[in-house]
């Protein structure tokens, strides 16, 4: 009798999990970009954890230096986007990010790509063959991702303002991602209300 109850409970758990997967697939099929207010440990309106890493050419890159490269230069809003070469959604969204970055090149906006879980041997040919010209940090051991709560659910993009506060966390990047990203960058260029 106990075995049947356990089997029945297991069946209900599996059914519930499958329904959850189907529900999330339906949401993805809609193609509408969604943001969220929190993704542990990040929270909109709170300071973004600082991080640093190495570019594909072994040059140091840090969030702090990207936001405020020098005392005499105004602070930058920063778009941080985690990607991987195996991620099909990333391949669709990276051109959007590059296009928006070009539109904001004369404003105080910078973009940092973070190659998640791979090394430059995978990332460099991918980025070069697709003509992506954005600064890229290697995160082969996923330590930067862990600091920001990023898992293998990619792409994952954040907008951080010039004071280092998280302004947007993208939960899903849909067909309208470019326009939503533009809007969120514009908002990040304005000071937070006190």
Predicted pLDDT at 184: 95
Please give the share of the chain, as a percent, with pLDDT higher than 90: 59
Please give the span between the terminal C-alpha atoms of the chain, in angstroms, as a whole number.
62
Structure confidence at residue 40 (pLDDT): 63
What's the pLDDT score for residue 48? 94
Looking at residue 32, what is its pLDDT? 75
Specify the higher pLDDT residue, 178 or 33.
178
Residue-wise pLDDT for 165-186, tens only, equals 999 999 888 889 999 999 999 9
Backbone angles phi and psi of 99, in degrees to 5: -65, -45
- The answer, as to whether pTM is greater than 0.75, is yes
Q: Is residue 72 very low, low, confident or very high in pLDDT (cuts 50, 70, 90)?
A: low
Distance, CA of 29 to CA of 51 (rounded, Å): 33
pLDDT for 67 equals 87
pLDDT one-digit tens code per residue, 112-134: 999 999 999 999 999 999 999 99
Give the pLDDT confidence score for residue 35 in this predicted structure. 74
- Give tens-digit pLDDT for 90-108: 999 999 999 999 999 888 8
136-170 residue pLDDT tens: 999 999 999 999 999 888 999 999 999 999 999 99
Q: Decide which of 3.40.30.10, 3.30.70.1340, 3.30.470.20, 3.40.190.10 is the CATH code for 32-188.
A: 3.40.30.10
Task: Assign 3-class secondary structure to the chain.
Answer: CHHHHHHHHHHHHHHHHHHHHHHHHHHHHHCCCEEECEECCEECCCECCCCEEEECCCCEEEHHHHHCCCCCCCCCEEEEEEECCCCHHHHHHHHHHHHHHHHCCCCCEEEEEEEECCCHHHHHHHHHHCCCCCCEEEECCCHHHHHHCCCCCCCEEEEECCCCEEEEEEEECCCCHHHHHHHHHHHHCCCCCC
Model pLDDT, residue 37: 63
| All structural domains of the chain with their residue ranges | 1-30, 32-188
């Amino acid at each position: 009798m106990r075995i049947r109850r356990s089997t029945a409970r297991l069946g209900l758990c599996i059914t519930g999990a499958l329904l959850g997967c189907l529900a999330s697939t339906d949401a993805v099929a809609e193609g509408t970009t969604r943001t969220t207010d929190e993704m542990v440990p990040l929270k909109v309106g709170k300071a973004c954890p600082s991080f640093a890493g190495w570019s594909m050419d072994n040059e140091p890159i840090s969030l702090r230096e990207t936001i405020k490269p020098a005392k005499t230069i105004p602070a930058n809003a920063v778009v941080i986007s985690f990607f991987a070469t195996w991620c099909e959604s990333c391949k669709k969204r990276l051109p959007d990010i590059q296009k928006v970055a070009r539109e904001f090149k004369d404003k105080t906006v910078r973009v940092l790509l973070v190659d998640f879980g791979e090394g430059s041997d995978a990332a460099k040919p991918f980025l070069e063959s697709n003509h992506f010209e954005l600064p890229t940090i290697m995160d082969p051991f996923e330590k930067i991702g862990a600091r920001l709560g990023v898992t293998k659910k990619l792409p994952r993009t954040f907008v951080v303002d010039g004071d280092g506060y998280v302004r947007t966390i993208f939960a899903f990047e849909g067909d309208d991602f470019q326009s939503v990203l533009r809007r969120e960058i514009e908002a990040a260029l304005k000071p937070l209300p006190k």
